[in-house]
Amino acid sequence: MDEVQKQLHILIDYWIAHNSEHIREFRDWAERVASSSAEVAQQLQAAATKMAAVSAELTKARLALSRSKGEH
């Protein structure tokens, strides 16, 4: 794995972890606001779902990066 790939691997891991924090926050706030605004709660849940999908794509990228090590 060259230096750029190593840096990208570190960044992808960071982005996945960071997204997980946001997902938890979105869901927490959705629960908090649900009684006063179902629409806002629904949008926050949708955002959490989309963020999880982004993390899934990042995970695929990380796996592809790991498979490509040594390839140039």
Tens of pLDDT, residues 10-69: 999 999 999 999 999 999 999 999 999 999 999 999 999 999 999 999 999 999 999 987
Dihedral angle sign, alpha carbons of residues 22, 24, 25, 30 = positive
The predicted structure's pLDDT at residue 69: 73
Per-domain residue ranges of the chain: 3-67
DSSP character at residue 70: T
The predicted structure's pLDDT at residue 70: 58
CA distance 50 to 7: 25
Enter the pTM of the model.
0.86
- Residue linked to tokens 């629904």: 42
Tokens of 60: 């695929």
The predicted structure's pLDDT at residue 71: 53
